[in-house]
Amino acid sequence: QQQVKQSPQSLIVQKGGIPIINCAYENTAFDYFPWYQQFPGKGPALLIAIRPDVSEKKEGRFTISFNKSAKQFSLHIMDSQPGDSATYFCAASTDNDMRFGAGTRLTVKP
C-alpha cells in the first residue's frame, strides 16, 4: 500500500492563484519531507523540503505547512505562474528509504 497519499491528482488554477497540494503519511519514522517538481521529459528536481521539528518553511513563492500530529503536510504556491505548470510529488523519507506520493499535475492558466 502506498505509504504517502497525495491529493489532488490534478489541479487547474488561474495565474496568480494559490494552488494547494496535500499529502499524508503513515510511518512515524519518516523524518524528512521534500517536494519535487517534474517537467515533461525531465527527472524530478527538489523544490523545497522540511524536517518535522518545524511547522512551516517558506522559500520564495513556495511554502510547506507541516502537521506532525496529523501526519500531514502540504505545499502552497503563492502567485502561481504558467511556468509553474508541472507535476509535483511529495515524499517522506528515512535515511535509506524515500517514498513518493502519486503526483499532482498542476496547470496554471495565463
Q: Does 2 bind other proteins (CB under 8 A)?
A: yes
Dist. CA 55–CA 14, nearest whole Å = 28
Of 12, 29, 46, 78, the residue at the interface with other proteins (CB under 8 A) is 46
Of 17, 57, 72, 102, the residue at the interface with other proteins (CB under 8 A) is 102
Of 49, 65, 76, 85, the residue at the interface with other proteins (CB under 8 A) is 49
> CA–CA distance from 18 to each of 42, 98, 99, 107 (Å)?
24, 27, 26, 12
Beta strands per DSSP E along the chain? 4-7, 10-14, 20-25, 33-38, 45-50, 56-59, 62-67, 72-77, 86-93, 98-100, 104-109
20-39 residues near other proteins, rule: CB under 8 A:
32, 34, 36
Of 21, 24, 44, 64, the residue at the interface with other proteins (CB under 8 A) is 44
Choose between 14 and 96: whose C-beta lies nearer to other proteins.
96
Is residue 6 within 8 A of residue 33, CB to CB? The reply is no
Residues contributing to the site for other proteins (CB under 8 A) = 2, 4, 6, 9, 32, 34, 36, 41-46, 49, 89, 91, 93, 95-103
